[in-house]
Amino acid sequence: MFLIDAHLDISTNAIEWNRDYRMSVYDIRKSEKGMTDKIDRGKGTVSFPELRKGNIGLVVATQLARFNQNNGNLPGAGWNSPHQAWAMSQAQIAWYQAMEMEGEMIQINNLPTLENHVNLWMDEAKDNAGKPIGYILSLEGADSLINLSYLEKAYQYGLRIIGPAHYSTGRYASGTGTTDGFTSLGKDLLKEMDALNMILDATHLTDKGFSEAMDLFQGPVWASHHNCRALVPHQRQLSDEQIKILIDRKAVIGGCFDAWMMKPNFTQRVSIPAEFGIKIETIIDHYDHICQIAGNSLHCAIGSDLDGTYGTEQSPSDMDTIADLQNLKGLLSKRGYSQDDIENIFHKNWLRFLRNAWA
């Protein structure tokens, strides 16, 4: 079944992890054997061949470059000025563009490109090996926008989604692990995003920031990679009240496969998924919760984050590569989800959202 994944940090892995996504996952792992600079060396789960094997033809792909602010150990952080972070974000764009030149990827940034690409991937007569991976460009953490004039520059090269916050403090909004909301600059960013009809990604916002965004931002909003606080108590997760607000806003929430977000008491970089019984099916508990609140299956989907600076050591124990997301089809069916429900979760919900946003 055609599958859309609404959150992958592809360019971060390509540039900072130095991974050639044209290679198989297994060749990438082999090339990293013995490396210790990153905890997930030799354990990655994502590559272009595996995306094609999993019929994952459209992804939301990020730029991720953070201004340091004493948080150099965080993903995408380490840059001592917004100008340096902007430069890294441009290196990431250059890599995406190089992959387009190779026919590996194609940017999707409006309704015609979306429809053409979906039609291509829905054509089962054509081999996936010859199909480019469609990507919608998202900025995770807005630190690298030196000032608001850079938003227009980014829009021109295809940026369509921004998650203003990431971890810890930020120039535009505070994120996971903090309690503050939007800065004055961040509130201005929301207004400019509205003017450009950009999508707001509520992922990583604090509770205060979430409330501020829902009040200030009038455009389309989603949560690309978020699970449920009722099941895993942590500020990084969505509360039931936040889920209800997102449902009222016609949002879609992408289930995240980072093990610590799937079951409670899992310690990042320490715990072992198998010892917690964390499997691919575990995400369905979160889907069930969202569906019960919504009364339907129209607001949950996939935002795997499977290359979000972790690998098999922090993925479901029965997952080898991202292609194994296809196993969700049978697992959802066993849990009582209909064919329509499964199609909603695999691709229809994201497609409906994008069609409405870009109409």
**What's the pLDDT score for residue 74?**
63
Give the start-to-end residue ranges of the domains of the chain: 3-358
Superfamily of domain 3-358: Metal-dependent hydrolases (3.20.20.140)
Which residues have C-beta within 8 Å of that of residue 240, sequence separation ≥ 6?
Answer: 228, 229, 230, 293
Mean of the per-residue pLDDT values of the chain: 96
Per-residue pLDDT tens over the stretch 149-160? 999 999 999 999
pLDDT of residue 275 exceeding 90, the answer is: yes
Per-residue pLDDT tens over the stretch 309-359? 999 999 999 999 999 999 999 999 999 999 999 999 999 999 999 999 999
pLDDT of residue 68 exceeding 90, the answer is: no
**What's the pLDDT score for residue 71?**
56
Per-residue pLDDT tens over the stretch 79-123? 899 999 999 999 999 999 999 999 999 999 999 999 999 999 999
Which residues have C-beta within 8 Å of that of residue 236, sequence separation ≥ 6?
Answer: 176, 204, 261
pLDDT of residue 72 exceeding 60, the answer is: no
pLDDT of residue 224 exceeding 60, the answer is: yes
Residue 78 binned pLDDT confidence (cut-offs 50, 70, 90): confident
Q: What's the pTM? A: 0.97
